[in-house]
Amino acid sequence: MFSKCGDEMERLQKVIANSGYCSRRKAEEEIKKGHVTVNGKIVVELGTKVEGTDVIEVNGTVIRKEEQKEYILFYKPREVITSVHDDKGRTTVLDYIDSKVRIYPVGRLDYDTTGLLLLTNDGELANLLMHPKTEIEKVYVAKVRGILTGTEINKLKNGIVIDGRKTSRAKVKVRKIDKKSQTSIIEITIHEGRNHQVKKMFEHVGHEVLKLKRERFAFLDLKGLHSGEYRYLSIKEIKKLYALVNK
């Protein structure tokens, strides 16, 4: 039975979001459109609460009741797909992780990009972390061809127009210059997650990215991990992530 009251129940849109199907806002839109059923009956009221035994469907897909949450920090190697499966048979991030629940990546890293990747079955937190408004800082270290000039560095800091839209301001620091090989190691901090963003930013100022690694996501880093290894986040770290996205 479902109801519009009762402390032992949970709001329908929260249960849908926690399942990982979509964000809470999107869940609310699906409810309003009449795309959600509980025990076979269409529900259009946002105040509806459900019990663990209720059968919830969104657009015909059965939504599972909230599983035990897992939060994993993974050091992604090169040539690994940031996906739960790959129709070409390539190695995915889930091939490295032993989990009994259905987890999925928070955002993505390119096939040839290494570094920090979060995986979870907490759909609500994942969507909040990926939302542009939360402005979660992501620190990348890029090995690029050539030596950047001061003008080029300032362009990266002030924003680059990619696909008709300017990127937000970035932090840029030169870590190392190798004049012999004509390469540079550059640290760049962004808070967006657009497709191939860092590579495109460097290409725009005339420098090909040879290697790219994400070293930090918010306050999380890769300390203590080698490529291909992972660890579970602590309760303190999880609470800190929630505090960041809800501030």
Kindly state whether residue 1 falls inside one of the protein's structural domains.
no
My answer on whether 232 and 113 are in the same domain is yes
Kindly state whether residue 103 falls inside one of the protein's structural domains.
yes
In the structure, what pLDDT confidence band is assigned to residue 2 with cuts at 50, 70 and 90? low
My answer on whether 109 and 226 are in the same domain is yes
My answer on whether 157 and 36 are in the same domain is no
Any idea what the CATH number is for the domain that residue 111 is in? Answer: 3.30.70.580
pLDDT at 55: 87
Round the average pLDDT of the chain to a whole number and report it: 91
**Which segment, 12-21, 34-43, 207-216, is predicted with the most confidence on average?**
207-216
Compute φ and ψ for 212, nearest 5 degrees.
Answer: -145, 135
Give the separation between CA 76 and CA 214, rounded to whole angstroms.
9
Annotated catalytic residue, options 7, 110, 112, 178:
110
My answer on whether 189 and 207 are in the same domain is yes
Q: Could you give the number of structural domains in the chain? A: 3
Any idea what the CATH number is for the domain that residue 40 is in? Answer: 3.10.290.10
Kindly state whether residue 155 falls inside one of the protein's structural domains.
yes
- State pLDDT tens for residues 221-243: 999 999 999 999 999 999 999 99
My answer on whether 150 and 213 are in the same domain is yes
CA dihedral of 104, 108, 113, 119, whole degrees rounded to 10: -30
Kindly state whether residue 233 falls inside one of the protein's structural domains.
yes
57, 63 contact by CB (below 8 A): yes
Give the separation between CA 31 and CA 37, rounded to whole angstroms.
8
pLDDT at 7: 42
Q: Is the pLDDT of residue 3 over 60?
A: no
- Widest distance between CA atoms in the chain: 72
Give the separation between CA 144 and CA 203, rounded to whole angstroms.
9
**Active-site annotation holds for 122:** no
Compute φ and ψ for 75, nearest 5 degrees.
Answer: -95, 95
Nearest residue to 212 via CA among 155, 137, 144:
144
Kindly state whether residue 3 falls inside one of the protein's structural domains.
no
Kindly state whether residue 5 falls inside one of the protein's structural domains.
no
Give the separation between CA 32 and CA 48, rounded to whole angstroms.
12
Any idea what the CATH number is for the domain that residue 151 is in? Answer: 3.30.70.1560
CA angle 110, 113, 116 (to 5 degrees): 100
My answer on whether 32 and 142 are in the same domain is no
Q: Tell me which of 123 and 158 has the higher pLDDT.
A: 158
Give the separation between CA 130 and CA 185, rounded to whole angstroms.
27
Q: Is the pLDDT of residue 6 over 80?
A: no
**Cα within 13 Å of Cα(199), Cβ side:** 13
In the structure, what pLDDT confidence band is assigned to residue 1 with cuts at 50, 70 and 90? very low
Neighbours of 206 (CB within 10 A): 12
Q: Which amino acid is at 5?
A: C
Q: Name the residue range of residue 82's domain.
A: 71-132+220-246
